[in-house]
A and B are shown apart, each in its own frame.
Chain A
Amino acid sequence: MIKIAVLSGKGGTGKTTAVASMAWYSENLVLADCDVDAANLALTMSGRLRTKDDYKGAYIASIDPKLCVECGKCEDICHFEAITDLKVNTIHCEGCGACQVVCPVGAITMSLRKSGEIFVLDTARGPMVYADLFPGESNSGKLVTIVRRLADDLAESDGLDTVLIDGPPGTGCPAIASVTGVDLILAITEPSRSGEHDLLRLIELAQHFSIPICVAVNKWDLHPGMTREIEESCRRQGVMVVGRIPYDTNVMASIKAMRPLPSMFPKSPAALEFHKIWKEVRSRSKERKGSGLSLNLD
């Protein structure tokens, strides 16, 4: 099984558009939307709901006021400032259970709380796993790990050979959970100082975990000079640039119509470039299969 993750560092560079377009040119594929804070792939890839499950990832402390003797030990021990005036702040509580350990009268219980939902859709291009983390909830990295595991299981049970991951922005917890154990990262960037800055951070992350990474510059012709600078930075890092996607008004039209770009505009310049990039990425991921380091992040 080959696993490819599309990330960017900076948000809004075109990850989801790239994933939906590349998926359109594929068969034998499982899609995994790992941007669980802002899952948008399902807005593009429509399909029939196969399963829906609750995500109970967050433990939350609760204090029984009948048992509480107001000693304040729980407040003092909490590293997350989640208990004030003997009340648990459900947003701050990370569910570590330190309060429960120090409570002398057993007034604190830890319980699992539903903090999101996980869906499997059958799309025209294969099954897709995505999740909806309820706004303001924590443990997104853990949810990403669950989405990925479910995608791997589906690939196994449905006999599919590729898992394509739509990753989150950033380089923190959910980004790390998205790239762990993949065969290749495709970074989608844009020709801007911010795009370059965040791309370099992502390249560092990939190199830190010894995961192969390649780059495509989206809307490259909005600033050809900056594109060349980014490509030069990549070369210095030993990172291959696999494509340049032109600015193409068809992309916005397809986003607004909520359909993958190539399904509406198969001959558009951006769609043709995504097709080329996908062929390149697939063959590179097969070459490099198995060179990534695996981390368990749940």
Chain B
Amino acid sequence: MILAVASGKGGTGKTSVACALALALDRPLTFLDCDVEGANAHLLLRPELRSKEEVLVPYPTIDHSKCNLCGKCVEHCHFGAMVRLGKKVKVMENLCHGCGVCRLVCPQDAVTMSGRPVGIVHQGTAGLMRFFCGELRTGEALSVPIIKRIKKEKDDLVIIDCPPGTSCPAVESVEGSDFALLVTEPTPFGMHDLKAMITVCRRLEVPCGVVINRSFGEDKEVESLCEAAGVPVLLKIPFDRKVAEAYAKGGTLLEAMPEIAEDLRDMFVEIRGLRR
């Protein structure tokens, strides 16, 4: 089973919940941190990192001795990444998606595709877990190729810590999962972004359920939102300053709130029944 832990809004507790669940299950599994712009799961799981691998995306190089400045590549590039500057065509690194259209349309055969590093995937183990996390290179815009690489890792049970948002990186992380656990907080911000995330899950045909984090007990508004959307609320984690303090130091939810382990295991059993 592939279980994605996601949320539209950032900072709702995705990483805390994903790590606590992985630890509470206490069994062999594979943990994938797909929040490659701000990977934090390693701070909580403290894996022993053993190896790393560079992620490359295709990237055009122009042979200026062959290029006759016909402008076909500039005209065909949908991302504005090919720019004619004086008597040279230049590739704008930050805009290039690596699609290779420039090579296809070049009548002079002046474009060759090579690999450009966009980030790193680290691999290691934490207890019974295999652990993978991605790291986007500074100044690099493309996080999706790194997520794609991480998601090649398969196992009987895979837990994915997803990036925030509802566009490409989040979509790429959630897609193909058997279930998405959406972590929210009971505020208008949390609810607004939860709604968007439920829509994403629908589009991807991934069944989902909700964890209400930092609950003050009264969460009627989130509950009625979930009910209207036909999405079950699977767990509530009460607000507790102890949790915030433990987290600050890199402590897990389980350290601050050991009794939550049982609830997480029960929730996992429930998810098994709800998955795709």
Select which of A9, A102, A223 is within 8 A of B248 by beta carbon: A223
Q: How far is the CB of B196 from chain A (nearest CB, A)?
A: 4
Q: Do A59 and B40 contact each other (CB < 8 Å), given the known contacts A37-B165, A169-B165?
A: no
Select which of B38, B58, B204, B247 is within 8 A of A169 by beta carbon: B38
Q: How far is the CB of B2 from chain A (nearest CB, A)?
A: 17
A298 in the interface (beta carbon within 8 A): yes
Please give, as numbers and ranges, the residues of chain B lying within 8 Å of A139 by CB-CB distance.
167
Q: Which residues 137-158 in B have Cβ within 8 Å of A in the complex? A: 138-143
Q: How far is the CB of A121 from chain B (nearest CB, A)?
A: 16
Please give, as numbers and ranges, the residues of chain B lying within 8 Å of A1 by CB-CB distance.
none
Please give, as numbers and ranges, the residues of chain B lying within 8 Å of A101 by CB-CB distance.
76, 101, 104-105
Please give, as numbers and ranges, the residues of chain B lying within 8 Å of A252 by CB-CB distance.
187
Q: Is the CB of A38 within 8 A of B192?
A: yes
Please give, as numbers and ranges, the residues of chain A lying within 8 Å of B79 by CB-CB distance.
96
Select which of B43, B98, B136 is within 8 A of A197 by beta carbon: B43
Please give, as numbers and ranges, the residues of chain B lying within 8 Å of A13 by CB-CB distance.
11
Q: How far is B229's CA from A28's CA once the two chains are assembled, in angstroms?
A: 41
Instruction: Determine chain B's interface SS by DSSP, over half rule.
Output: loop
Q: How far is B97's CA from A197's CA once the two chains are assembled, in angstroms?
A: 28
Select which of B37, B99, B167, B170 is within 8 A of A171 by beta carbon: B37
Q: Is the CB of A194 within 8 A of B40?
A: yes
Q: Which residues 186-206 in A have Cβ within 8 Å of B in the complex? A: 190-194, 197-198, 201, 204-205
Q: Do A136 and B97 contact each other (CB < 8 Å), given the known contacts A38-B192, A194-B43, A223-B245?
A: no
Q: Which residues 207-235 in A have Cβ within 8 Å of B in the complex? A: 208-209, 219, 222-223, 226
B199 in the interface (beta carbon within 8 A): yes
Q: How far is B92's CA from A219's CA once the two chains are assembled, in angstroms?
A: 40
Q: Return the CB mask of A152-190 against B: 1 if under 8 Å, else 0.
A: 000000000000000011111111100000000000001
A12 in the interface (beta carbon within 8 A): yes
Select which of A133, A170, A208 is within 8 A of B166 by beta carbon: A133
B100 in the interface (beta carbon within 8 A): yes
Q: How far is the CB of B11 from chain A (nearest CB, A)?
A: 1
Select which of B9, B40, B99, B244 is within 8 A of A222 by beta carbon: B244
Q: Is the CB of B9 within 8 A of A12?
A: yes
Q: Return the CB mask of B84-98 against A: 1 if under 8 Å, else 0.
A: 000000001011011
Q: How far is the CB of A73 from chain B (nearest CB, A)?
A: 11
Q: How far is B95's CA from A141's CA once the two chains are assembled, in angstroms?
A: 10
| Residue of A12, A16, A133 ringed by the most chain B CB atoms within 10 A | A12
A135 in the interface (beta carbon within 8 A): yes
B78 in the interface (beta carbon within 8 A): yes
Q: Is the CB of A16 within 8 A of B189?
A: yes
Please give, as numbers and ranges, the residues of chain A lying within 8 Å of B220 by CB-CB distance.
none
Q: Is the CB of A38 within 8 A of B171?
A: no
Please give, as numbers and ranges, the residues of chain B lying within 8 Å of A258 by CB-CB distance.
188
| Residue of A10, A170, A176, A204 ringed by the most chain B CB atoms within 10 A | A170
Select which of B15, B98, B105, B141 is within 8 A of A173 by beta carbon: B141
Please give, as numbers and ranges, the residues of chain A lying within 8 Å of B104 by CB-CB distance.
77, 98, 101-102
Q: Is the CB of B37 within 8 A of A170?
A: yes
Please give, as numbers and ranges, the residues of chain A lying within 8 Å of B38 by CB-CB distance.
9-11, 169-171, 194, 197-198, 201
Return the chain A residue nearest B191 by Cβ: A43
Please give, as numbers and ranges, the residues of chain A lying within 8 Å of B166 by CB-CB distance.
37-38, 133, 135-136
Q: How far is B168's CA from A135's CA once the two chains are assembled, in angstroms?
A: 10
Q: Is the CB of B248 within 8 A of A96?
A: no
Q: How far is B164's CA from A259's CA once the two chains are assembled, in angstroms?
A: 24
A21 in the interface (beta carbon within 8 A): no
Q: Is the CB of A201 within 8 A of B188?
A: no
Q: Is the CB of B97 within 8 A of A135?
A: no
B256 in the interface (beta carbon within 8 A): no
Please give, as numbers and ranges, the residues of chain B lying within 8 Å of A208 by CB-CB distance.
138-139
Please give, as numbers and ranges, the residues of chain B lying within 8 Å of A109 by CB-CB distance.
none
Q: Is the CB of A168 within 8 A of B100?
A: no
Q: Is the CB of A168 within 8 A of B165?
A: yes
Q: Is the CB of A37 within 8 A of B136?
A: no
Q: Is the CB of A171 within 8 A of B165?
A: no
Nearest first, the 7 A-B pairs at minimum CB distance are A11-B10, A12-B11, A170-B37, A96-B99, A37-B165, A223-B248, A173-B141
Could you write out 23 A-B pairs with CB less than 8 Å apart? A11-B9, A38-B193, A38-B196, A40-B189, A91-B175, A97-B76, A97-B101, A133-B166, A133-B167, A135-B8, A136-B203, A138-B167, A139-B167, A169-B164, A170-B165, A171-B138, A173-B142, A176-B94, A193-B40, A197-B38, A205-B138, A255-B187, A298-B80
Since A77-B100, A170-B164, A223-B249 are in contact, a sample of 20 more A-B pairs with Cβ atoms closer than 8 Å, ordered by chain A residue number, is A12-B10, A12-B11, A91-B175, A91-B204, A96-B78, A96-B99, A98-B104, A101-B104, A101-B105, A102-B104, A135-B203, A136-B200, A168-B165, A170-B35, A170-B169, A172-B143, A192-B249, A194-B38, A219-B244, A222-B245
Chain A residues within CB distance 8 Å of chain B: 8-13, 16, 36-38, 40, 43, 59, 77, 79-80, 91, 94-98, 101-102, 110, 133, 135-141, 168-176, 190-194, 197-198, 201, 204-205, 208-209, 219, 222-223, 226, 252, 255-256, 258, 295-298
